[in-house]
Structure 1
Amino acid sequence: MLTLTEQLAERFAQRIRTRLLPAGARLPSVRECARQQGVSPYTVVAAYDKLLAQGLVEARRQRGFYVRDIAQKTPPAQEGQASAAIPLGAKTASPLGTIGVRMSGSQINATALMRGMFYQASAKPQPGAGVLPVGWLEEARFLPAAVRKITASPALQGGSLSYGEPMGDAGLRAALARRMAGISIAAQPDQIMTTVGATHALDIVSRTLLKAGDPVMVEEPGWSVEFARLDALGMRVLPVPRGPEGPDLAVMARYCELHAPKLFVSVSVLHNPTGYSLPPASAHQVLQLAERHGFYVVEDDTYGHIAPEYAVRLAALDGLRRTIYVNGFAKILAPNWRVGYLAAPPGLVERMLDTKLLSTLTTPSILEKALALCIDQGQLRRHAERIRQRLAQARARSVQLALEAGCSFAAEPAGMFGWVETGVDTDMLAQRMLDEGYLIAPGALFHATRQPCTLMRINFANTQEPAFWRTWKNVVKTG
């Protein structure tokens, strides 16, 4: 039987090891933790001493206990040590604020969010989840049927006993070209290349067009995995504020003058986490900047399957001249299928194919053939329509409950996610909610550099029940 001290220490240790409590996070004060957990201050001190002995936390004089980066091989930097040791990590004073950021903690931030995808805090619906509920995706019963049909055909032998086509299954690429034409993007099948999910497509683009140290513009708030991925490749991240009218064009223009960025990464439709979609005027101006300054625009349309038909795509306006279009099917069909694709200007296709061959050779053709069948028979389109309708109902319920709980929305609710203003530090609150079995996505995870934030991203499909919001109000009230 574990003592209270051992139970408390193990609870924190597990979260630190799984990165659910990320490096740099501050543990509650001794008094606050004692009150939250219903134990004595002595128990908390003893638990924190155990974490210190295990090398999981460090004590900072008159500031409290902080989570150490358990992946680092060298001792933690002393307080006040110059940050210039990281050459691209410095913040540069300018009218734009942060000019370029090398984010020492961004991978941890992203890891915390990604590990949450695999960590089930409880059987309750998880507000911070990045995917739709399993029950919703299980309704796509046509997927197993399509796989059975493909594996019962001669395609099984041809598809599994060879590497397949380097560009991806020809039938799927033709189906994708027709599907893209339906959203006004003109792409030939030989401009389309399949990938292992949309993230792999983004990685192919980066590895093809960039080298270490190159500046890249990325929307902020934005997908923390993209910040961390670019940082891991050694790129210099230039955060571009994203608002209801699109990216801040003045900031982008200034970046172009100062740093000559090679790339701009944008979620133009149903932006994650805000839900914003790019207005036509702003889209035209972004493309004009790209033409004038010679950078490419990577358009991540991951949420396009649940977007309104009238949504504006940069690739449609540009005709795939300075745009590279990226999409996948994890959000709408099956996360574990890992089928994605990119469509690129003709002059870039061969270079990107070389990058794909060096990373994965080819992609699984059997799943690609099954997906092509689902697209051609209209099953994907009908499924997406059902998901949109169901999501609209869930969104309406979630918004009402959030407002009743005293929250507000920093962006007009749209799509799959809500960008919620809570009025409290959501980093600190995340650990309290985890005690209650709920994993939330604090706003700090969606910024290039981690800093206190009162925002959080919610998944509308998982926050439409009153139980979460009752727990939320109680934790905020007692926090």
Structure 2
Amino acid sequence: MLMKASAQSLTEQLAARFAERIRDRLLAPGARLPSVRQCAELQGVSPSTVVAAYDQLLAQGLVEARKNRGFFVREAVPVRAEGSAESAGASGEAIPAGWSTAHWLAARRSQAPVNATALIRGMFHKISNKPQPGMGVFPPDWLESTFMPAAVRKVTSTKALHDFSLQYGEPMGDSGLRRSLVTKLAALNVPATMDQIITSVGATHALDIVSRTLLRPGDPVMVEEPGWAVEFARLNALGMRLLPVPRRADGPDLEVMAQYCALHRPKLYVSVSVFHNPTSYCLSPGSAHRILQLANQYDFHIVEDDTYSHIAPPHASRLSALDGLQRTIYVSGFAKILAPNWRIGFLAAPPALVEQFLDTKLLATLTTPALLEKALALCIDQGQLRRHSERIRTRLDVARSRSVKLALNAGCRFEAEPAGLFGWVDTGVDTDALSQRMLDEGYLLAPGALFHAEHRPSTLMRINFATTQDAVFWKKYAEVVRRM
């Protein structure tokens, strides 16, 4: 709350609050600030205080006023640099007051939709001690285990630790882990040999390896919409042309997909077949068959991101299983289910592409840490990862049931049948505006606009079932919605 007894005036406090969120990218460029009246009501101050605070933000270059529309977070403008980017301050455009050089240069270098990074930054900026509805991960206490530290101790207690610590690991990744992954993939009916698997620094790194190998700036790429905001941002940063395909309950809109194929000849299709993010839809066999037909007809590859495989039924339809890794590249990882900081992911690819992918990996990271890969292999081989995943699934089922009831009681409507980790809910209000108001209450939301290739107003938001079991959150949510 703003404090009248503070050494700072109410105007200065309000301006500082917005400025901090803008610099931390929790309010993304292009985001609209609350109207003067709404902000005054929300903060318990006079409209003149809000006007003065917004004037300070204007003077600092953090926001811009658009006639008859309101105040918006300022978009980054390319620097007219003379020489290096570091000459920004002397290149004809001053660094806005209150911005550090690092903040300014980072904003300048970013070519991606910055509203995606707002959610990522929220993962590292502790908004409050409250459960966060917009997060894309399980709560840390859900992931606690004794078997992971035990696996690390076992790996490091042998002479092998000395041997593999003093040299680079295997270029394709630890052979023991790749052998374990062959068995794990076979259980999902995805046929792969050790020589088709390359480990990576998390699943996102695996996706990046594929993109950097198969694509060039300007290439058209089909993506699912709504879809994963970080993937949109990453592909945009690489200069790709995104072709958003509407995602339905049984899979992508095949008519739109076929039109893209005929008109643009896309090079790649990025898909989450099982527990799609943010809807939790699962691909149907019929849609999978038609997608593969289009891939063969128009000669494009498919990247199948199976990040949520650990909480999904093994019989779910996967393109990689039906295709046998001919045109498909399978990507997954263990951050979501096991240990976010271990950063272990992998890809399984058609034999003809493996060497190209390996070259890209070596140029970026050389090799990946063998110690943690060996520990993970132990967790898989001894069945500990499987049992851990089963416990998480059981706990998630209970959490989902409770969260759904609370959401419905709060007036939400589910746009997709609740499943998996995420719920895709219709709030009936602009979730960009809602997310700003809930941020003041200590809650980080994931508004629907984040999940579109181009920003557009939305009444939808993604909720995490594991972090929305708190009735206190839903009570506060209902209060804020009523005031909007």
Q: TM-score, normalised by structure 2?
A: 0.91
Match of 2:158 among 129, 150, 153: 153
2:331 and 2:298 map into 1 onto residues whose CA distance is 22
In structure 2, what is the equivalent of residue 86 of structure 1?
Answer: none
Residue 31 in 1 paired to residue 37 in 2? Answer: yes
**1:390 aligned partner, one-letter code:** R
For each residue in 1:220-263, what CA deviation from the matched residue of structure 2 results, as whole angstroms up to 9, or x when unmatched?
00001111111111111000000102001111111111010010
8 Å contact 1:219–1:247 — kept in the other structure? Answer: yes
CA distance in 2, matches of 1:208, 1:226: 16
Do structure 1's residue 8 and structure 2's residue 14 form an aligned pair?
Answer: yes
Output aligned runs, 1:384-463, within 5 Å: 384-463=389-468
Q: Kindly state the Cα deviation for residue 158 of structure 1 after the two structures are TM-superposed.
A: 2.2
Equivalent position SS for 1:373 = helix
Q: Read off the aligned partner of 1:53 and give its amino acid letter.
A: A
One of 249, 258, 264 as aligned partner of 1:259: 264
Aligned residue for 2:95? none
Partner in structure 2 of residue 95 of structure 1: none
Conserved in 1, the CA contact under 8 Å of 2:201 and 2:344? yes
Q: Secondary structure at the match of 1:167?
A: coil
Segments of 5+ residues of structure 1 without an aligned counterpart are 76-103
Match of 1:209 among 214, 226, 231: 214
Q: Which amino acid aligns with 2:452?
A: H
Q: 1:51 aligns with which of 57, 76, 98?
A: 57
Query: Matches of 2:149 and 2:75 in 1, distance apart?
Result: 42
Question: For the residues of structure 2 that align with 1:298 and 1:175, how far apart are their CA atoms?
Answer: 22
- CA–CA distance in 2 between the matches of 1:134 and 1:117? 12
Instruction: After superposition, give the CA deviation of every residue in 1:297-333 in whole Å (9 maximum; x if it has no partner).
Output: 1000000110012211110100000000000001000
**8 Å Cα contact 2:27-2:73 kept in structure 1:** yes
RMSD: 1.2
Distance 1:109 1:31 in 2: 25
Determine the structure 1 residue equivalent to 2:106.
none
Give the whole-Å Cα distance in 1 for the aligned partners of 2:164 and 2:255.
50
User: 2:112, 2:237 within 8 Å by CA — same for their partners in 1?
Assistant: no
**8 Å CA contact 2:111, 2:237 repeated in 1:** no
- The answer to whether the Cα contact below 8 Å between 1:106 and 1:224 also exists between their aligned partners in 2 is no
Match of 1:180 in 2: 185
Contact kept? 1:9, 1:50, Cα under 8 Å: yes
1:153 Cα deviation (Å)? 1.0
Q: Which runs of 4+ in 1 moved over 6 A?
A: none
Per the alignment, residue 240 of structure 2 pairs with 235
Give 1:130's aligned residue: 136
Residues 216 and 238 of structure 1 are in contact (CA less than 8 Å); yes or no, is this contact kept in structure 2?
A: yes
Residue 367, structure 1, aligned to residue 372, structure 2:
yes
Task: Specify the SS of the correspondent of 1:369.
Answer: helix
CA contact (8 A) 1:106 1:448 kept: no
Q: Which amino acid aligns with 1:405?
A: A
User: For 1:4-403, what aligned pairs fall within 5 Å after superposition?
Assistant: 4-70=10-76, 72-73=78-79, 106-138=112-144, 140-403=145-408
Give the Cα separation in 1 of the matches to 2:478 and 2:423: 18
Alignment partners' CA distance in 2, 1:158 and 1:190: 23
Distance 1:12 1:146 in 2: 45
Amino acid at match of 1:330: A
Distance 1:391 1:272 in 2: 16
| 1:72 shift after superposition | 4.7
Aligned-partner SS, 1:449: coil
CA deviations over 1:70-113 (Å, ceiling 9, x no partner): 575369xxxxxxxxxxxxxxxxxxxxxxxxxxxx9852011111
Q: Which amino acid aligns with 1:142?
A: F
Q: Percent identity?
A: 70
1:398-426 Cα offsets, whole Å, 9 max, x none, are 00000000101000001000000100000
Q: How many residues align?
A: 450
Name the CA shift for 1:261/1:70 in 2 (closer, same or farther; >3 Å). Answer: closer
How far 1:159 moved relative to its partner? 2.2
**Residue in 2 that maps onto 1:475:** 480
Question: What secondary structure, in the 3-state scheme, does the structure 2 residue paired with 1:237 have?
Answer: strand
- Distance of 1:317 and 1:330 partners within structure 2: 26
Deviation at 1:35, TM superposition (A): 1.1
Q: Distance in 2 between matches of 1:459 and 1:342?
A: 26
SS of residue paired to 1:325 = strand
Structure 2 residue matching 1:251: 3-state secondary structure: helix
Contact (CA 8 Å) 1:56, 1:70: kept in 2 or not? no
TM-score by length of 1: 0.92
Amino acid in the other structure paired with 1:456: M
Distance in 1 separating the partners of 2:160 and 2:9: 60
Preserved CA contact (<8 Å) 2:111 2:236:
no
Match for 1:49: what amino acid?
Answer: D
Instruction: Return the letter of the residue paired with 2:386.
Output: R
Range with greater deviation from structure 2 (23-32 or 337-346): 23-32
In the TM superposition, residue 346 of structure 1 has moved relative to its aligned partner by: 0.3
The secondary structure found in structure 2 opposite 1:148 is helix
Structure 1 residue 157 displacement after superposition: 1.4
Offset of residue 390 of structure 1: 0.3
* CA distance in structure 2 between the aligned counterparts of 1:361 and 1:290, rounded to whole angstroms: 32
Q: Label 1:8 to 1:74 Cα distance change in 2 as closer, same or farther (>3 A).
A: farther
CA distance in 2, matches of 1:269, 1:40: 50
Look up the match of 1:80: none
